Amino acid sequence: MASLWRAAMGQWENQPEDYGGVEFWSDPERTGWLTKQGEYIKTWRRRWFVLKQGKLFWFKESTITRASKPRGIIPVASCLTVKGAEDVLNKQNAFELSTRTDTMYFIADSEKEKEDWINSIGRSIVQHSRSVTDSEVVDYDNKK
């Protein structure tokens, strides 16, 4: 059985195929090419990314079907920040995605693509974060 690398709470571990019920091949929130730095061997590789339902998947190819196997998955709820990283990497259009224990680096093809990815991932972090439970959300419109 094939397995994939998955960041869970900042720990990289070998997981069986578990996409959390996410149909990554259908109606994603955002897709596009990004250059990603490897987790262990710090080489830069171009990968096709798919953001959907709080998970960021990456693939070698941009043609994604039900049979496609992600090269990796990042559950964005385990991420704390997503921000520009040009100054850290000394590369244009760079950004970073950080958990409590790890930081991954990406390079977009343009400034606009970088900003769009940061915004999309940032929204997904907020939507899927477990730091705010439903009982802690205050409905200001209906508050008396």
Provide the residue range defining the domain that includes 40.
Answer: 30-129
The answer to whether position 135 is within a domain reads no
Burial of 22 (0-12, 13-18, 19+ CB in 10 A): middle
Q: What is the CATH number of the domain that holds 68?
A: 2.30.29.30
Q: Which two tokens stand for residue 2?
A: 């094939």
The answer to whether position 106 is within a domain reads yes
Quick: pLDDT tens for 20-45: 788 898 999 999 999 999 878 889 99
The answer to whether position 101 is within a domain reads yes
Residue 97: its pLDDT value, please? Answer: 96
Average pLDDT over residues 62-84: 93
Eight-class DSSP state of 78: G
The answer to whether position 98 is within a domain reads yes
For the whole model, what pTM was predicted? 0.77
Of residues 129 and 57, the one with the higher pLDDT is 57
Average pLDDT over residues 81-95: 97
Residue 6: its pLDDT value, please? Answer: 40
Query: Looking at the chain, how many residues does it have?
Result: 144
User: How many distinct structural domains can be found in the chain?
Assistant: 1
Residue 62: its pLDDT value, please? Answer: 95
